[in-house]
Amino acid sequence: MNYRHGFHAGNFADLAKHAAVLTLLRLIREAEDPLLVVDTHAGAGFYDLSNPDFARSKEAEAGIKYLMSQEVPDSLQPLASYVRAKNLKAGFRDVVGIYPGSPVLVLDHIRQGDQYIGCELRDDDFNLLRERIEPRGKALKEDGYQVAIDSAGSPRSLFYLVDPPFERGDDYDNLTSTLQGILSRKADARVLIWLPLKDLETFDAWLRGLERTLDPMPANLIAELRLRPLWNPMKMNGCVLMAVNPPKNFALHLKSIAEDVVRVFGEVGGQARVWSL
């Protein structure tokens, strides 16, 4: 696998996803315990934004660094405050020098007694992940899709983060089969899925396949964050967040996050849509 999330760390899609994760964890913690969080594509744990290999993409410049240079919208304040605190602790007072990925973010916001498993297949990122999260969490160099299905037999409350690189041609099919495998064993498992949004045809085809496969269809929320009109399928024109079995009141939070991300980072013609399948 060639993909490394470090090239995209701190971009608009990360901000949307991580703002949603923070909100979900807060709502889940209020009602459920103990919790197991499974991160199917965990990456390196956190990212050094000064790394020249990563910095050349300039996605963090247009994402987290741009956000922190202005008045932060309310829905993104918890994430911005957390990133600021992590940077201060790392010795960065006036710049954003690191960006916490989902493994570190989750471990910093779950309770004592909760558990985290992060899966990563790249040797270099896996070694960093293991160094950065163990013993607080467990790093596995295994197929995250299969780990997700296998862990659905846990007696704990379950929360899955599924954020594939979409480097493989079968990632959409794997998303569907993994959801089916999880929900067939744990119908009330909570899942947050991230997808790129390039064109509606690809996204709609996946949703139609999901409807044919999942019976019954679980409760879900879908947020489309369109930074620009979807006229060029060769560009990532936005992203999608799909929350399966979301907690009560999450819809309002997700709507605010989607609207604020599009307002801050979008172009003319951008729009945010939140709906249920």
Q: For residue range 181-236, list pLDDT tens digits in order.
A: 999 999 999 999 999 999 999 999 999 999 999 999 999 999 999 999 998 888 89
Q: Which of 8, 7, 13, 6 is nearest to 265 (CA)?
A: 13
Domain at 5-275: CATH code: 3.40.50.150
Residues 268, 69: Cα–Cα separation, whole Å:
21
- The residue written with tokens 């949307």 in the block is 16
Is residue 168 scored above 90 in pLDDT?
Answer: no
83-111, pLDDT tens digit by residue?
A: 999 999 999 998 999 999 999 999 999 99
Is 182 within 8 Å of 216 (Cβ atoms)?
no
Residues 30, 95: Cα–Cα separation, whole Å:
34
Residues 276, 242: Cα–Cα separation, whole Å:
9
Residues 235, 276: Cα–Cα separation, whole Å:
26
Tokens of 14: 């990360």
How high is the pLDDT of residue 242?
98
Domain boundaries in the chain? Answer: 5-275
Looking at residue 145, its amino acid is: Y
141-167, pLDDT tens digit by residue?
A: 999 999 999 999 999 999 999 999 888
